[in-house]
Amino acid sequence: MVVDYLVLGLEDDDSLEEKLHGLLEHIAGHKRVEVPLVGYETQVGPSLRDVLPFFGDVPSSGDGWVRLYGSFGDQTGFAMMVGNCLRGLNLPMGSWYSSPPDPPGGPWGLIGMADQGWIVLFDDTIQEPMKERLSDSVMVAYIPLEVLEGNPIEPHMESEEVQRITLRWLLSYLPDREDYDV
């Protein structure tokens, strides 16, 4: 699958964070064609039950995830959106690339990711993942920024690899079974 890269120039002002989160909200709110799931019901423990909804709407190939990176210099900022399905998402005007361009400011830093119904943000003020409802159709998952230390998600990485890394992060935060009465 071909990965697209869209770079947007942004003015580095007080509304920059709001603009970046707005891009992720746009992706999360975008409706895709539903693929029926095949499977059967089974009972799972309470700690796993909290994590499973995060993966409920993820296409098995990881193609729906869009990553948002930032590169900031003096008074200017650039956002780069990376994903396998960008061209059909009605995104703002920007420059399209078929490989990651060199960052125009500082290095590209991962801000967050989004797919239909979910936004993932990296937060340096938390120690474990948490989630909250943003709207009727969008949830936000907050992941500790420390997970990126030593395991960066680079712009050139394939979506499937990013999905595997994210799953490992979430599973590593599950509490031990011995901490719960079964």
Residue 5 pLDDT greater than 80, yes or no:
yes
β-strand pairing of 118-123 with 130-133: unpaired
Among 147, 134, 166, 150, CA closest to 62: 166
At 110 the three-state DSSP class reads strand
- Looking at residue 57, its pLDDT comes to 47
CA angle 79–84–90, rounded 5-degree value: 60
Contact criterion met (CB below 8 Å) for 44 and 134:
no
pLDDT in tens, 46-68: 666 666 665 554 444 456 789 99
Q: What does the chain come to in residues? A: 182
Q: Return the closest-CA partner of residue 26 out of 68, 74, 60.
A: 68
Domain ranges of the chain: 4-31+46-174
* Better-scored residue on pLDDT, 160 or 31: 160
DSSP lists the bridge partners of residue 123 as: 144
Q: What confidence score (pLDDT) does residue 35 get?
A: 46
Please check whether residue 95 is in contact with residue 104, taking contact to mean a CB–CB distance below 8 angstroms. no
Section 119-137 average pLDDT: 90
**What tokens does 175 get?**
């509490």
